[in-house]
Amino acid sequence: MSASWAIAQDGASTPRYEPKMIINYGGGGWKNAQVQEPCVLVNPKDASKLVMFFSGTALDNGHGQTATGIAKAWANISDPLTWHEDVGNPFFNGDPTNPSIRSIRPRFRHL
């Protein structure tokens, strides 16, 4: 997941945007394929910090199955582009072998 920040070079021209990776994905495990769906809030326990909830997806466990996990990270309000992932991530991890808990997304049946 990346974010962009406006940086005006001379104060008069159009600012340029430089992307910065804030949450990495890949490397195997629960967020091997992607991270997405961030929700950023002011931490209700400490107003000087932000908390972000996000999901990650691992693709193909070798049997063509995927799973989604939910995790959290925090940043200081004074530095909103530097995020620190919680060491206990993910706090919810779907089971790719069980369709009822494979994903956090609801499944709808069409009649």
pLDDT tens-digit profile of 24-70? 888 778 888 888 889 999 999 999 999 999 988 887 656 566 778 88
Within a domain: 110: no
Within a domain: 72: yes
What mean pLDDT, rounded, does the chain reach? 77
- Calpha distance 75→52 (Å, rounded): 8
Under a CB-based contact definition with an 8 Å cutoff, are residues 92 and 69 in contact? yes
- Chain-centre distance for alpha carbon 10: 33
Under a CB-based contact definition with an 8 Å cutoff, are residues 59 and 33 in contact? yes
Average pLDDT estimate for 66-93: 89
Within a domain: 85: yes
What range does the domain containing 91 cover? 2-6+18-95
Task: Specify the pLDDT at position 54.
Answer: 92
Q: Total structural domains in the chain?
A: 1
Q: In which residue are the tokens 């199955």 written?
A: 65
User: Is the predicted pLDDT of residue 90 greater than 60, yes or no?
Assistant: yes
Within a domain: 65: yes
Within a domain: 64: yes
